[in-house]
Structure 1
Amino acid sequence: MGRNVQIVFTLLLCLLMGFHVSKAQDEKEDKKSPIQVTGSLGFYYDYYSYTQENYASFRPRYPENLLRLNAQMSINFGKHFSIPISVNVTNQDVIYNLPSVPEESALDYIQNPANNISINPKYKWAQGFFGTQTPMYTPLTTGDIPIFGVGLEINPGKFILSAAVGKSQRAIEPDILLNVPGAYEQSIITARIGVGKIEGSKFTINVVRVRDHKNSVLANPIGIEPIEGLTISPYAEFKVFKKLNIRTETAGSIFTKDLFNNGVIDEDYITAVEDFITVNASTTADFSHNTRIDWKGDKFQLGGEVQYIGPGFLPVGYRFVERDILDYKVNTGMKLFDNKVNFTGSFGIRTNNLNDTKLSSSERIISNANLFAQVTESFSVNLNYSNFGFKNDANILNQRIELVNNSITVSPSYTFKTEKYMHLITGNVALTSFEQFDVVSNAFAKAENTTYSINYNISFLEKPLSIGLQGIYLENQLPTGDFTMLNYGLIASYKMLDKKLTPSIGFNFAHVDVPGFTTDYRKNLNLRLGYKLTKKLQCKLQYRYTNFRYGNSKPGAALDQNRVQFSIQQRF
């Protein structure tokens, strides 16, 4: 870990521990202090080591030494002013994949995607954002890209104004030898203005702009062109008759796929925005629409959604989106027999290739259903079915994503109690089918998984002891080869010293069978120790040992892994 990283990590730890000490002193001196600290602060350390025999290709699964600091806190000054602070930092330089790790500056360290540092002061209806943040506006503009930068959000009365600017991707130099394609530095600007309440009914105009900085790297990334895009949408969300919610949005985007393209385009509706973004022959413009209506009653709910995304549309505030699609979806839910039976479900049809711009089209069913039934006071069962598919429209083979997943799960549970014991028996049967396009073989690969598991737990009512037994049978059918696994497990825990100290021990034994090979064996020992220093301060220590002994799939191979994890966490 570089010197600058050590300094930043130490300063953050001292600063946050200082908040804790200051708060503890304030509580002793004045229980009604106008400055209050809430949240939690945790420090974590992981140590990992391994030894192997005849397994030279094995690569460590964890870093040897990992330090993590996590704080989710809010410093409150009086009734209206607060400073939420989120800190999640580590000593790892995971952004680099190079033989030697370059020295990071303090600014590089806090911008590292492995870390998350944000300070967001708030006063009544105004809030500022400094550091890592994820602007979440609407389904067709921005919502899942974290940025490092600054932002502002105000909502006085019924006026809404939000804005953010920051870096969403750091520049990475390509390296063919290490199979690193590289990346351009990317920045995002977001803004919205409207009327209503941010967390309620509202009407807003949303604007999001993304841009790759093409001169941010010395060598152009492999197979990646610098992009620039702009998305604009009006968005409305409101309630009718208290139980009826309506949400609708129509968005338009102009997107340039390659900033190095020198070709020209003569479409007037595109060239009209060339003062705002770069326009060339790779620029496309398109629109999308989403409307959702939900009626929620006490016992019954029903809703519908329709969505269209044009082939040239891009919501620049999302990493991935399937385009050239039309979705129809129905959502429903009901509670029956005094809420003992709960059902929720959705059913939809997705059609793609609406404009015949691709070689093939498809119509897919997208559905999910969940049924929970409390059959008796002791027995319950949960059933779940889901079908999900995703497909992008990338023409480059190694960027193509296409998958379909189907799964069915049945989970019964039975509980019964005697004078001295509480018994819990749970089971699970899961059937999963996963089909994905393999860019290596240029064909679809299908995987099927069948899992059966049963768990038995007994709690002693006259003593703080609990014991659990587990059995799992797993059968996988993969393109790379089939295998089955049978796993047995035992775990026991006991509370001591007025329930402040909780030791536990767990042991698992598994054997894995692959057709054509002898059995592989795995043993796992897990020791845990938890201690409550106070009601809000606790520390945990865990040791995990894993032993692998392989059959003739890896002749004579053996692997031993040791992992020690220590944590101390304070709640305020």
Structure 2
Amino acid sequence: MKNTLFALFKIALLLMGTHLATAQEEETKKSPVELTGSLGFYYDYYSFSQENYATFRPRYPENLLRLNAQMSINIGSHFSIPISVNVTNQDVMYTLPSVPEESVLDYIQNPANQISINPKYKWAQGFFGTQTPFYSRLSTGDIPIFGVGVEINPGRFILSATTGKSQRAIEPDISLNIPGAYERNIVAARIGIGKLEGSKFTLNMVRVQDDVSSVNTDPVGVQPIEGVTISPYAEFKLFEKLHLQTETAGSVYTSDVLNTGTIDEDYVTALEDVITINASSTADFSHNTRLDWKGDKFQIGGEVEYIGPGFLPVGYRFIERDILDYKLNTGMKLFKDKVNLTGSFGIRTNNLNNTKLSSSKRVISNANLFAQLTESFSMNVNYSNFGFNNDANLLNQRIELVNNSITISPAYTIKSEKYVHLISGNMAFNSFEQFDVINNAFAKAENETFSLNYNLAFLEMPLNLGVQGIYLENQLPTGDFNMLNYGVMASYKLFDKKLSPSIGLNYAHIDVPGFTTDYRTNMNLRLGYKLTKKLQCKLQYRYINLDYGDSKPNAYVDQNRVQFSIQQRF
């Protein structure tokens, strides 16, 4: 795997060098082949030392190599080849204490590495490598797969199809603490009329299936699954400013294809040709409709969603089931767009079919106000509320909580011929109240944060200075927690603004009742250099020192992190 990554790095550096050399020559005419985008190489080094803190866990990997390329080869006016590469030398495929060795093929097919080539010609596009197809809210949208796909939209005809692996097979090994996994394959397709980025009606189908023959030994505690989701989806404009989205989806899901139990229903025979049906199978439906009216100065919209207790959109990792949602969204612009107000309100009820011991109701609301009061002074205010409660009569099953938060952020700018002064602040208040079934009473936690920033920019020289102060206070049932942080920063540009050094220093002391103060020191050194207009390298060094009071007697931690990057824009 690492050899594969290093080979990719060599190719990246070769491309950078080739492009840098050709960029020095004046072009007399535009080439029919054009390369756009960016290519970046990143290296991070991290080390730490500790005393009297043997349980400290490193914050970062010791050596991290990353290659990121977001490029497109454009040939003529209609043909392009978008290329996306995001790879690392870390074992990112499995979240396990121990991992199996990956071959070159395993490394390339690892969906977490995201390697894709997607050629496009007018209304047709192909997909090769890592893809995350998104069709609709109730079909597929957030599972990356490694495979192939195609999408065409000639005129008003829509056809999309994708197939690939979302999980590679892993043989279990108890000695290495590897539970194992089945190979998981996904097939997704949609057909319809309209425009992909506009009004359309499509019929979506997604199928997921674990291959039980992909491993020699059954994984530990993992059952092979199989599922199908089908949904008609429509979105279109009823009027010029009125937009409607609606979808009804049905799914059949088998949580263990090896289950030997049977279901004695008439519809089973018809479904058995499509999906494995046994005692672990469920079938259900869901629905979502959203209606939005968007004007120049005012907008309002509503949404209703129902998810059945047995419904699963197999193209998503997770969805909360057996719920009914109502949402209202609104927004308006006032006083020549100097005041912008947006808000939302929603109620979610679950356990509609009594599939659980108790039901719950959640209230979610949010409001945001931005006001440009004068040319120099602006204010942003945000309020959010989240509530949750169930109808359980038994004390040990009762759940009730309310979370409220409000944030106020003013900003004031002073401009002169030589300077620009920016003064900004932030006040955040958060209250969380939850019913404690042990003490038969409400427990309350409160958080207050105050910050003040001052930045000075010199207009006659490339110098920027800044100071910052933050005060944080947490009041918890288990004890209070206070932190005061203050810092300074400075940046400058040299050699015709090609070299950009900067420094930042932060110092904080943290107080917990009953213990002496903990201290944290943070220093950031950054250096950026533009080799050309499109080729830039950056170097950053960060030092963090944690010096503990008697909460961890005589304990301290020193951390060092060095980050280097070189990025080429095309």
Code of the residue aligned with 1:508 in structure 2: it is N
2:251 equivalent in structure 1:
253
Shift in alpha-carbon separation, 1:434–1:285, aligned structure 2, 3 A: farther
Shift in alpha-carbon separation, 1:180–1:376, aligned structure 2, 3 A: farther
CA apart distance, 1:225: 2.6
Question: Are the equivalent residues in 2 in contact too, given 1:322–1:390 (CA < 8 A)?
Answer: no
Shift in alpha-carbon separation, 1:191–1:406, aligned structure 2, 3 A: farther
Question: For 1:547 and 1:15, how far apart are their aligned partners in 2?
Answer: 36
2:368 equivalent in structure 1:
370
SS in 1 for 2:552: coil
Question: For 2:222 and 2:408, how far apart are their aligned partners in 1?
Answer: 44
1:419 equivalent in structure 2:
417
Q: Which residue of 505, 508, 511 corresponds with 1:507?
A: 505
Code of the residue aligned with 2:267 in structure 1: it is Y
Question: Are the equivalent residues in 1 in contact too, given 2:97–2:178 (CA < 8 A)?
Answer: no
How many residues align? The count is 556
2:15 equivalent in structure 1:
18
- Kindly report which structure 2 residues correspond to 1:521-532, keeping only aligned pairs within 5 A, or say none: 521-532=519-530
CA apart distance, 1:176: 6.5
Question: Are the equivalent residues in 1 in contact too, given 2:363–2:388 (CA < 8 A)?
Answer: no
Q: Report Cα offsets for 1:477-523 as digits up to 9, x if no partner.
A: 55775422111111110111111111100000011112222111110
CA apart distance, 1:367: 1.9
CA apart distance, 1:337: 0.3
Shift in alpha-carbon separation, 1:102–1:228, aligned structure 2, 3 A: closer
Question: For 2:308 and 2:431, how far apart are their aligned partners in 1?
Answer: 29
2:225 equivalent in structure 1:
227
Question: Are the equivalent residues in 1 in contact too, given 2:111–2:130 (CA < 8 A)?
Answer: no
Question: For 1:326 and 1:339, how far apart are their aligned partners in 2?
Answer: 36
Question: For 1:215 and 1:50, how far apart are their aligned partners in 2?
Answer: 45
CA apart distance, 1:320: 1.1
CA apart distance, 1:431: 2.6
1:398 equivalent in structure 2:
none
2:309 equivalent in structure 1:
311
Question: Are the equivalent residues in 1 in contact too, given 2:467–2:489 (CA < 8 A)?
Answer: yes
2:263 equivalent in structure 1:
265
Q: Report Cα offsets for 1:34-87 as digits up to 9, x if no partner.
A: 100000011111111111111111122111111111100000011111100000
CA apart distance, 1:20: 6.7
Code of the residue aligned with 1:320 in structure 2: it is F
Code of the residue aligned with 1:55 in structure 2: it is Y
Q: Which residue of 199, 202, 207 corresponds with 2:200?
A: 202
Question: For 1:136 and 1:560, how far apart are their aligned partners in 2?
Answer: 44
Question: For 1:248 and 1:453, how far apart are their aligned partners in 2?
Answer: 44
Q: Report Cα offsets for 1:322-362 as digits up to 9, x if no partner.
A: 11111111111100000010011111111111111211112
Question: For 1:50 and 1:276, how far apart are their aligned partners in 2?
Answer: 55
2:539 equivalent in structure 1:
541
CA apart distance, 1:174: 5.4
Identity %: 77
CA apart distance, 1:407: 3.0
Q: Tell which deviates more after alignment, 491-500 or 24-33.
A: 24-33
Shift in alpha-carbon separation, 1:223–1:198, aligned structure 2, 3 A: same
CA apart distance, 1:254: 0.6
Question: For 2:384 and 2:166, how far apart are their aligned partners in 1?
Answer: 33
Code of the residue aligned with 2:156 in structure 1: it is K
Question: Are the equivalent residues in 1 in contact too, given 2:503–2:524 (CA < 8 A)?
Answer: yes
Structure 1: give runs of 5+ residues left out of the alignment: 392-400, 439-443
Shift in alpha-carbon separation, 1:447–1:39, aligned structure 2, 3 A: farther
- Kindly report which structure 2 residues correspond to 1:82-101, keeping only aligned pairs within 5 A, or say none: 82-96=80-94
- Kindly report which structure 2 residues correspond to 1:58-69, keeping only aligned pairs within 5 A, or say none: 58-69=56-67
2:450 equivalent in structure 1:
452
Q: Tell which deviates more after alignment, 97-106 or 318-327.
A: 97-106
Question: Are the equivalent residues in 2 in contact too, given 1:90–1:114 (CA < 8 A)?
Answer: no
Q: Report Cα offsets for 1:14-48 as digits up to 9, x if no partner.
A: 16743772686387455411100000011111111
SS in 1 for 2:559: strand
Shift in alpha-carbon separation, 1:102–1:173, aligned structure 2, 3 A: closer
- The CA RMSD over aligned residues, in Å, is 2.8
SS in 2 for 1:109: helix
1:54 equivalent in structure 2:
52
Q: Which residue of 3, 7, 13 corresponds with 1:6?
A: 3
SS in 2 for 1:107: helix
Code of the residue aligned with 1:458 in structure 2: it is L
Code of the residue aligned with 2:161 in structure 1: it is A
TM-score (norm 2): 0.91
Question: For 1:121 and 1:390, how far apart are their aligned partners in 2?
Answer: 48
- Kindly report which structure 2 residues correspond to 1:467-506, keeping only aligned pairs within 5 A, or say none: 467-477=465-475, 482-506=480-504
CA apart distance, 1:179: 6.7
Shift in alpha-carbon separation, 1:97–1:413, aligned structure 2, 3 A: closer
CA apart distance, 1:446: 7.7
Shift in alpha-carbon separation, 1:402–1:316, aligned structure 2, 3 A: farther
Code of the residue aligned with 1:46 in structure 2: it is D
Shift in alpha-carbon separation, 1:231–1:334, aligned structure 2, 3 A: same
Question: Are the equivalent residues in 2 in contact too, given 1:92–1:114 (CA < 8 A)?
Answer: no
Question: Are the equivalent residues in 2 in contact too, given 1:68–1:91 (CA < 8 A)?
Answer: yes
Shift in alpha-carbon separation, 1:110–1:196, aligned structure 2, 3 A: same
Question: For 1:274 and 1:403, how far apart are their aligned partners in 2?
Answer: 45
